[in-house]
Chain A
Amino acid sequence: MNSMTSPLGKPVDRVDGPLKVTGQAQYAAEFQVPGLLYGSVVNSSIARGRILQIDSSAAEAVPGVVLVLTHANRPPIASYDKAYEDEDSADGASFRPLFNDRVLYSGQPIALVVAENLELARYAGSLLKVEYAAEPHNTDLRARLGKMHKAPAEIPPERGDVGSAMASARYRLDVEYSSPVEHHNPMEPHASTVHYLPDGQLEIHDKTQGVQNCMHYLEAVFGMEGQIRILAPFVGGAFGSGLRPQYQLPLAVMAALKLKQSVRVVLKRQQMFTFGYRPRTIQRIGIGAGPGGQLEALTHQAIGQTSSFEDFTEHVVEWSGMLYQCPSVRLDYRLVSLDMYTPLDMRAPGAALGVFALECAMDELASAAGVDPLALRLTNYTDRNGNQDKPYSSKALRECYEQGAERFGWSKRLPEPRSMREGNQLIGWGMATGVWEALQMPASAKACLGPDGRLKVSSATADIGTGTYTVMTQIAAAALGLPMERVDFHLGDSSLSKAPLEGGSATVSSVGSAVQKACEELRQKLLDATQQSPESPFTGARLEDVSFNAGNMVLKSAPETSVDLQQIIAMTGALEAEVSVKPGEKRNEYATSTHSAVFVEVRVDEALGTVRVTRVVSAVAAGRIVNPKTAGNQIVGGVVWGIGMALQEESQIDHHLGRFMNHNFAEYHIPVNADIGAIDVLFVDEQDDVVNELGSKGVGEIGIVGVAAAVANAIYHATGKRVRDLPITLDKLM
């Protein structure tokens, strides 16, 4: 395999590209079902209390309205917490939609109005009269710091002697950083189309990163084991929002079961602010360093918000114990329960926050010690993960620093803040390091070579825009020496081979390894098939003696001996292999991570305080890159997210009402095309035979990590102002 024609590592176009540019790719709300009814969700307007009464008479009087579903008339659902758990549950009791009269947060779904068409459902929803017994609520993290509790997370224990190392350090730093709530806001709103089949089974198109996760959730909540199939061939972005089943799904199912009819529920953009989010977080970093900036002590505390019913945790502080060489480290993580929904993993959960604080603090240390920010990182470079006291399976971060700096022109940077300008534009250059885990989850895949010569490969994973269809097609085509045009990859169907959630940058590593293994088994079966007859030229050959190339199996020692795979299949009939792959044991000896070095140029208008990120270089070490085109796009997207995080994104809460105020795209700002300048992505060479068979680490998260810090550091370099509270809006620079 992997001959000259192998598609592995080639920047091939997306296999689903033509469907996407012609409007034929169908998303959850776009499947046509006969007799479909439309549901519109009504949300609570108080943040805490009880529903005393929902008067639905006016809504029900509207011709065409068929049902107003509330906690009072919903079909039976499980009462125990366990049934509501899913693969990405937080600690505690998961939210139970329409379970009872309790209101736990503002925006909680309290009713579903079902009608013959969308507009009627939405209009009738506005006619509900809801009477509440409101109770006092708390939504302000800072106001409730006195009530914080230890996060249920496995934080590495203190190492070294932080107290005395800090006391004797030449340079000491103690700074606080804060960041607001952010919402995922994929372009496609969450939606579920529930097809009620004649036998009462349900076939559901849902927006999700885990079709099997949603299937198991519904099976448990509704007691419908074996009666539910979830489909999600296309997902219009998710970034974590589809990791847990969202409430439109059980609501649509309730209505379908009650009415014995098909129902579609699509959330409005405003309702995309009524479930998970990146939590508001306050971080405190302490650094003690020697004369050259070498780290002697490091403390990192994070305080994040969570809900009243779950303790959401993410890896915020761990990065500070592993990114640099440091003998004494103390990490701490606390939570504050608020009357808001539970936070939810959002692109590079934890790392986007924790590395922002750490990498801004490193920049502050560089300034204090009078050393170049890049030189400071090299001074403190490590090849071991200090939290686990293990070597990295591979770590080409040094190459990221070198090649990124070269591409950016970092050596021309003048060290002093406000030292570079063009007219009234203050120019700033900043940099930061990025890091993310290189995970692998157990996953399965099936490969079937049919009589038509086509290879059908499948796994119940997802493609949320990450390129799964394309990359899996490449891996399968390479493994069997077939042109990509002869490979069909199927995903997004809960009836396919078991796959983990599509998240954490683990899909190539997990599902890709399973696809590779399934194709390897198929190779063995093909070889076995040719050896059935004693006069076969392949008699005695082992798998390593043959290669698969251009649709043929070839004897390596005698390349003229080859057989067309289709000829083998013509004899045997379709051949199939289904495998499950677990993370390899040799991973246990090592720490596995992706790394990046991010270099940013900003231009700040001295009079107006407006910030433009004009140039970014992101140098990434993520093992073998299966498709530089789609992987590069992932990094570009991550950088855009980092720019949004640094300068724009903030879900603002009216603490009096206990709800988000700016719940739309006009007021929750994300970057638009005009906000984005040149983004230069480079992948450094990184060989890794530990992380998985493919040597690939995943690139979905690493692109965002460190970007907000690099932007903040560049702004400091441009203006001399250190803004430690995201987003860095112009009012903070004036």
Chain B
Amino acid sequence: MTKRSQDLIDRLAREARKGRVSRREFMHHSIVAGVTATTAAGLWTSKVAAQTPSRGGTFRVAQHDGNTSDQHDPGLYQSNFEIAYTHTVRAYLTMINQDGTLGPDVASEWSATPDAMEWTFKINDRATFHSGKKVTTADVVASMNHHRGDASTSAAKALLASVEDLVDNGDGTVTFKLAAPNADLPWIMPDYHLAILPDNGDGTVDWQSGFGCGPYKMVELEFGVGGRFVRHDDWHGDGAYFDEVEFLVINDPNARQTALITGDVDATSLLENKTLGLLGRNPNVEIDNVSSAQCITMPMHVDVAPFDNLDVRMALKLAINREELIEKITFGAATIGNDFHHSPAMPYFPSEIPQREYDPDKAKWHLEQAGMDGLSVDFSTADSITTGAVDAAILYAEHAKAAGININVVREPNDSYWADVWLVKPWCMVTWGARPTPDVMYTLAYKDDAAWNESHWKNPRFNELLLQAKAELDDAKRAEMYHEMGMLARDDGGTVIPYFPNFVYGRRSNVNHIGQLSPAWQMDGYRHASRWWFA
């Protein structure tokens, strides 16, 4: 290695330790500097990831979407404050790691029967509630039952619908018996509703107290205002570097940004895309811009003319300039879509599927095939779907003009959009929250009999693969299946997917992380309190 490339790599490592360079960028630049990929990976491990986080300090975080009506019942969790709270104070059977893989939390290991009909989780014997009581299998069973059965009001009921029985094996393991095979069950466990809570002894759980077995203990809390937390010394996982953590609810985006600039807080969730450029110039502030599995979709009802014609669907998919939408509508804070609802932030992402480009000439050709030159279609949207939703639709309409397609943008009222437009109008714009796996997403909105099959798309091969993949425990084979399903959705499906919006949040430059951030939620999967540290 020459002295010059050594200097460059040292500088890269320094920047990476501050979290300014991601692992991917580090690898890329190191290879450019003249080292092999293996060496670069080694350098990352030795120079960046190996830095020892320092302990101590009070970490103050501005949190958006906090309400006075927030509460402690995990079955009714909905707001971002509740989700940030639960990942700080409570724990789950499994967790999404910073590199997007699945890792242990309260469960130290898990395994399935070959038919994926039974999953057994072994409970970490070090897991301890804030009361000092050890986490037992009875707690796990009661916590899951909180979301099951007729009496449950949990929003996660559907997620566990296929769980037929929960068995406490008496040896520190719990077995989930399923009605249908599900190779993804461990991936469902980090869902924010499924927190592990102490059993009351009668099969119900104590959610009212707001305690759990997570990395921090609640000291003070007022919903809609904020809370104060101290480290739980018996925390079974890694991290929890800060002595104390304070959450402050700041719903106004401007106020969050100001608080970060003035140093009133050390980090803030959800920054506004339009001010990222300016904020990025502030030397005291670092911005994290992370790919997510949130998605903007534009489903066409494939059983309604003219969308029942594959050439028309193809023409509309080719007539959108995704890059320009990302640049102008999201200010670069999005990941490009490819007309199948599987984000690079989800497992099994088929990266070899070719990116669909903007090609008005080809779109025109498809219209000629369909005999529909000068096609005119209505496209419904509303401001509340996503920032700049109406502008995005109008920009799309401009792109489509080059292909001789007239997209008539219909601006619908915000209030009744989900009741009167979504699933009703033949072509509209929709926003989807992040789902953990392609299986959950496809089952929810692309399966032939799904209640939310928003494009009415019923492809037999796709549905066959969907069921097969659910029972397939071999990762390589599953990845192949999701590849084929992605191709089917992309080339036959009824949904135009422009982009996956990124998670964008900020921190003061004295706050560090390892340079990789979990794609599960904002703020490193809302595990910022236990994963980040002060330099």
The judgment on whether A and B are partners is no
Give the A-binding residues of B (Cβ under 8 A): none
Give the B-binding residues of A (Cβ under 8 A): none
